Amino acid sequence: PDLGTEFLERPLANPLMNAAGVWCTLAAQLDALADSEAAAIVTKSCTLVRRDGNPEPRYRALPLGSINSMGLPNEGYLYYLDYAAHHDYDHKPLFVSVSGLSLDDNLTIVAALRDVVLPALLEINLSCPNVPGKAQPGYDFEAMDELLAEVATAYRRPFGVKLPPYFDFAHFDTVAQILNRYEHLAFITCINSVGNALIIDTGQESAVIRPKDGFGGLGGDYVLPTALANVNAFHRRCPTKTIIGCGGVRTGEHVFQHLLAGATLVQVGTALYEEGPGIFQRLARELAELMAHKGYRRIDEFRGRLKTL
């Protein structure tokens, strides 16, 4: 089968890419993604100024996924703009994830990205759960609308948002209504980690990560159903926007489920962290095998065509 797809009218070899935050903080990691079977790349969410992030241990692999409270460690936005300036866009698209700590910081970074006039794609992260004292804009609908209004005015090219998971139809409706007001908000990435979970080690009677008394974002198998629900909820409510699925992808079958729910691209976080960039070749092979088994020749034949009872 043909794994080819299109993102904002650009043909891609397959629908796979990394999730922001995983294997994308340093140039050498991004280069490894550029050399992998991933069809696109996104950089670690950046702030105005370089950050060390939270104290370690701040990531733990678990039998069913991961918990993290990294705290936005990154090299500062100029580092990623420089990386973007040297990236080969004919080879694969590059997204730059932006997670300024204030509206002003976000606008400074967005203006810089606009002014360098690169084909890089802006993904605004509305959903970092791990910076002590900073609420997620994704859970403050007024703040989210204000931020999007300012970004959409300053930045006239297609851009997207990375959303936190939502758990209520009223929230799906409200958020979709806000996003639909912005015409060149072209893509929606669902979901960021399921924030502020607590994993307890029974033997040690202890939290397993140091920051925030052990509270952190869940990824991996734990979050697949929540991710699929959010992908499908926004696919239904935002028909003019492209959905990027993220959450719980470890096998080709998980990729297939995200596509069926309405995703156009599918990001890989925890499983990439654990397996490394070689995972994209395995996922592509597993997706191709599943499609062949089902008699599908192209992703278009099933994407978004989830059946209901």
Q: At what angle do helices 169-180 and 224-237 cross, to 10 degrees?
A: 50
Dist CA 86 CA 176 (whole Å): 35
Q: Which of 70, 179, 188, 209 touches ligand RRO (CB under 6 A)?
A: 70
* Residue of 15, 100, 137, 217 that binds ligand RRO (CB under 6 A): 217
Based on the shown chain and the rule CB under 6 A, indicate whether residue 71 belongs to the binding site for ligand RRO: yes
Q: Which part of the chain contacts ligand RRO (CB under 6 A), choosing from 69-77, 107-115, 153-161, 173-181? A: 69-77
Smallest distance from the beta carbon of 99 to ligand RRO, in angstroms?
Answer: 5
Of 208 and 306, the one with the shorter C-beta distance to ligand RRO is 208
Tell me, residue by residue from 153 to 192, as one string, x for binding to ligand RRO by CB under 6 A and - for no binding.
Answer: ---------------------------------------x
Tell me the C-alpha distance between 7 and 13, whole Å. Answer: 11
Is 178:140 a contact under the CB 8 Å cutoff?
no
* Measured distance CA(240)–CA(154) in Å, rounded: 21
Q: Which is nearer to ligand RRO, 71 or 245 (CB)?
A: 71
Name the DSSP class of 62: E
Residues belonging to the active site? 128
Q: Which of 73, 240, 224 is nearest to 158 (CA)?
A: 240
Measured from the CB atom, is 70 or 291 closer to ligand RRO?
70
Distance between CA atoms of residues 249 and 220, nearest Å: 7
Asked if 163 contacts 190 with a C-beta cutoff of 8 angstroms, the reply is yes
Residue that has been written with the tokens 């869940």 in this structure: 218
CB of 196 to ligand RRO, least distance (A): 10
Q: Does 264 bind ligand RRO (CB under 6 A)?
A: no
**Closest CB to ligand RRO among residues 164, 262:** 164
Report the interface residues with ligand RRO, using CB under 6 A: 21, 45, 68-72, 99, 125, 127-130, 192-193, 217
